[in-house]
Amino acid sequence: AQTVTQSQPEMSVQEAETVTLSCTYDTSENNYYLFWYKQPPSRQMILVIRQEAYKQQNATENRFSVNFQKAAKSFSLKISDSQLGDTAMYFCAFMRTFGNEKLTFGTGTRLTIIP
């Protein structure tokens, strides 16, 4: 079974600064997907970024980027130029690549952007 660990329950950072959220996972699979989801106070689950394990290049989406270290089973999210709207819970998630697969989530990191 896969597990996802987020060791930072809460983080805060000043607006416009850069912040990195950590995530580690455990799996015996070689091919899989990793995701970061954002959950604002509305509790909607919003996909931030996706990484395919067979791709060595780290995924980026505007101000969001990941540092994917496959051997270390580490998948951190970097938010650059943080904005007040980035305040949310962030969940790291794992999914196998066989088509109809469930997401396994970590416990989340509550990120607060301070004005």
Partner 1 sequence: EPEVTQTPSHQVTQMGQEVILRCVPISNHLYFYWYRQILGQKVEFLVSFYNNEISEKSEIFDDQFSVERPDGSNFTLKIRSTKLEDSAMYFCASAGAEGNEQFFGPGTRLTVL
* Gyration radius (Cα) of the chain, Å: 14
11 binds partner 1 (CB under 8 A): no
91 binds partner 1 (CB under 8 A): yes
- For every residue of 43-64, DSSP letters joined together read ---EEEEEEETT--SPPEETTE
Interatomic CA distance for residues 40 and 88, integer angstroms: 4
Among 11, 20, 22, 45, binds partner 1 (CB under 8 A): 45
Closest CB to partner 1 among residues 56, 115: 56
Nearest one of 18, 38, 20 to 81, comparing CA atoms: 18
106 binds partner 1 (CB under 8 A): yes
5 binds partner 1 (CB under 8 A): no
Binding site for partner 1 (CB under 8 A): 33, 37, 42-47, 50, 52, 91, 93, 95, 97-108
